[in-house]
Structure 1
């Protein structure tokens, strides 16, 4: 019987080794499939990230162009405002009577009477009274 076991022992070891090899190969195949699935998922995530990056980059460029355009418009508005301020200053320098009447009108709004207008603004009585009436008419229309 020992001879029979000794004869079949190499065959048994070979079969045992073959079974272990098949089990190991099955596990390796499953591990490879799992890795391939993970790799596919990572490729999909990377593709989506690239698409989102491209979309965000496009939006950023559109915002940058819009901001540059807005900056140019703001510069133009600032230039126009500066020019208007200079012109207004020139006009007020050339029209001292206009400043005087503006001051008198403001005084009337604040409650000054005819005598105060005559003294503070060097206005004749008729002009001071006219300003008072105009201010009163303007005030009545607003009500």
Structure 2
């Protein structure tokens, strides 16, 4: 019997080794499939990230171009506003009555009464009253 066991022992060991080999190959295949699935998922994530990056780059470039255009337009508006302010100053210097009314308006803002306006600015009573009334309306609207 020992002789019989000794004859079949190499075959049994080979059979066990073969079974172990199939088990290990099965596990390796499962691990490889899991890694391939993870790799595919990572490729998809990378592809989506590239697409999003391209979209954001395009949006950024559009915003940059728009901002440059707006900056240029604002500079033009500032130049135009400065020219208008200069022109307004020139006109107010050429109009002595305008300076007189500006002074009278400033006096009203500082609290002058009708008599002071009439005396200091040489205004008729109706104009002094009108300036006082306009100042009151202006203050009421600010509140």
TM-score exceeds 0.5: yes
Aligned to 2:4: 4
* 8 Å Cα contact 1:108-1:132 kept in structure 2: no
Aligned to 2:78: 78
Aligned to 2:113: 112
Q: TM-score, normalised by structure 1?
A: 0.80
- TM-superposed CA distance for 1:111, in Å, is 5.9
Indicate whether 1:23 and 2:23 are aligned: yes
In structure 2, how many angstroms separate the alpha carbons of the residues matched to 1:131 and 1:106? 14
Displacement over 6 Å in runs of 4+: 136-139
Q: Deviations over 1:63-121 (max 9, x none)?
A: 1111111111111111111111111122222223211123235546856324x234212
Bigger mean CA deviation after superposition, 56-65 or 100-109:
100-109
What is the root-mean-square deviation of aligned Cα atoms in Å? Answer: 2.6
Q: TM-score, normalised by structure 2?
A: 0.80
Aligned to 2:66: 66
* 8 Å Cα contact 1:105-1:131 kept in structure 2: no
Aligned to 2:102: 102
For structure 1, the 5+ residue unaligned runs are none
Q: Secondary structure at the match of 1:89?
A: helix
How many residues align? The count is 138
- TM-superposed CA distance for 1:130, in Å, is 4.2
Bigger mean CA deviation after superposition, 65-74 or 102-111:
102-111
